[in-house]
Structure 1
Amino acid sequence: MKNTNVADAVLQAALDLFATQGYATTSVQQIVEAAGVTKGAMYHYFQSKDDLLFAIYDRMLTLQKRRLEEITSAGGDTIDVVRAVCVDVVESSIDLLPEGTVFFRSMHMLSEPRRKEVTRRRREYHDEFAALIAQGQAEGTVRTDVPRSVLIAHFYSDVHYLSYWYSPSGPESKSEVANQLADLFLRSITLEDG
């Protein structure tokens, strides 16, 4: 195996094992065996299981934040931008379903500095999304009779549970599910005459 692929192989093996059997019950030995590398090779790239867990979160958070910034910088009507962000976060969450599984089941097991970093980065994303909702409210297209935090939680609760109910082999494609969830969300937050 080429050195450039060792880190990827280790990370993929860790992801698969953490998603199927849990972070706490997965040993470093199981990870290196599944990756087909030695412990020394793994430790060249990752000092601990905590490094592996954080790397899984980092990949997911980096991708979703980059996509959010691409969508928002493209501009357009606020509701169209909100819809595009909603579709993207569902599609990317489905693409990263194992990462999402690990994320929501194991985040509390990160070391405290890493947990704070993940929380900070999630808050950054949340704040950008909240700013879009606030912009829609200021424009009169998004309802204001429900607190903004509740509107946002309404959508993200669906996203957070994708790993529990969505199956890529199920009847709906990721795009169908993403569009359905975005439509349901937008119908629930937009004003009739907005």
Structure 2
Amino acid sequence: MARTKAPNPEVRRRILDVSLDLFATKGFAATGVQEIVTKAGVTKGALYHYFKSKDEILFEIYGKVFGRELDSLQRIVAEGQDPERTLRAIIVDLVVHTADSTRESAVFARGGHAESPHWQAMQEQWRRYQEGFRQVIRDGQESGVFAAKASPEVVSWSVFGFTNSMHTWYRPEGRKSPAAIGDELADLVLTGLQS
């Protein structure tokens, strides 16, 4: 009777790291499974032991990022602060998380991933995040704390456009920390929402 190999978290992590690097530099569609296994120093069998497909690797990468951001947003909203403080905290948190995930952002921006059940699940997480962000703005507008000059959709897309492009310009060694950048962006957004 053949013995099943025990899972090796280091091999799994190496496959994820190499895949992330390749997807960020070449794009998801242009990266082949053979290239991943060669760079990771594993066999195809090892890759398929941990992941059923290249798409599943991408889902794992995105799922962690989207899940972490959604959890953070829900935690901040649950604190029950006023709309200004809540929106500021969400924006700063999103900028800090995005700065920590620039390679993942680069993969997302490059696109080229297959429409699959995994992708649909990630899209649902992203929709939930967007709706939570917009609800904070709506609540602030309905209570008169925020002006209704701009819709929650336009405000949110302004912030998401900023964070989605961070992989092109943000550098960890730069003179501003992610929190300082987030505060500056929050100042800009909140000034635009002043009633």
Distance in 2 of aligned mates of 1:161 and 1:86: 15
Larger RCO: Structure 1 or Structure 2 (Cα < 8 Å, ≥ 6 residues apart)? 2
Deviation, structure 1 residue 149: 1.3
Task: Determine if contact 2:149/2:193 at 8 Å carries over to the other structure.
Answer: no
SS of 1:6's equivalent?
A: helix
Q: Which moved more, 1:75-84 or 1:150-159?
A: 150-159
Q: In structure 2, which of residues 149, 171, 178 is the aligned counterpart of residue 174 of structure 1?
A: 178
Structure 1 residue 6 corresponds to structure 2 residue 11: yes
Find the aligned partners of 2:15 and 2:129 in 1 and give their Cα distance. 28
Report the counterpart of residue 96 of structure 1 in structure 2: 101
Matches for 1:123-142 after TM superposition, within 5 Å: 123-142=127-146
Q: Select between 181-190 and 95-104 the one with higher mean Cα deviation.
A: 181-190
For residue 74 of structure 2, what is the amino acid of its counterpart? E
More deviation in 89-98 or 63-72?
Answer: 63-72
157-166 vs 86-95, which moves further: 157-166
- Kindly provide the CA deviation profile for residues 103-154 of structure 1, in whole angstroms up to 9, marking residues without a partner as x: 1212x42233233222211111111111111110011111112222112212
Distance 1:5 1:189 in 2: 47
**Corresponding residue for residue 29 of structure 1:** 34
Quote the Cα distance in structure 2 between the aligned partners of 1:52 and 1:110: 12
| Aligned equivalents of 1:190, 1:117: Cα separation in 2 | 36
In structure 2, stretches of 5+ residues that fail to align are 1-6
User: Is residue 71–residue 84 contact of structure 1 (8 Å, CA) maintained in 2?
Assistant: yes
Q: Which residue of 1 aligns with 2:44?
A: 39
Q: Does 1:110 align with 2:114?
A: yes
CA contact (8 A) 1:104 1:160 kept: yes
> What CA distance in whole angstroms lies between the structure 1 residues aligned with 2:10 and 2:122?
25
**Separation in structure 1 between the aligned mates of residue 15 and residue 170 of structure 2, nearest angstrom:** 26
The 8 Å contact of residues 53 and 110 in structure 1, kept in 2 or not, is answered as no
Q: Secondary structure at the match of 2:76?
A: helix
Cα distance in 1 for residues equivalent to 2:71 and 2:178: 20
| Cα shift at 1:36 | 2.2
Q: CA RMSD in A?
A: 1.7
Aligned equivalent of 1:189: 193
Task: In structure 1, list runs of 5 or more residues that go unmatched.
Answer: none
Q: Distance in 1 between matches of 2:115 and 2:151?
A: 33
State TM-score, norm by structure 2: 0.91
User: 1-side partners of 2:70 and 2:150: how far apart?
Assistant: 26
SS at 1:109 equivalent: coil
Residues 11-58 of structure 1: CA distance to partner in whole angstroms, max 9, x if unpaired? 111001111122122121221222222211110111111111111110
Query: Contact conserved, 1:29 with 1:39, CA < 8 A, in 2?
Result: yes
Q: Is 1:76 equivalent to 2:52 in the alignment? A: no
Alignment partner, residue 15 of structure 1: 20
User: Which protein is richer in helix relative to its size?
Assistant: 1
Structure 1 runs (4+) deviating above 6 angstroms are none
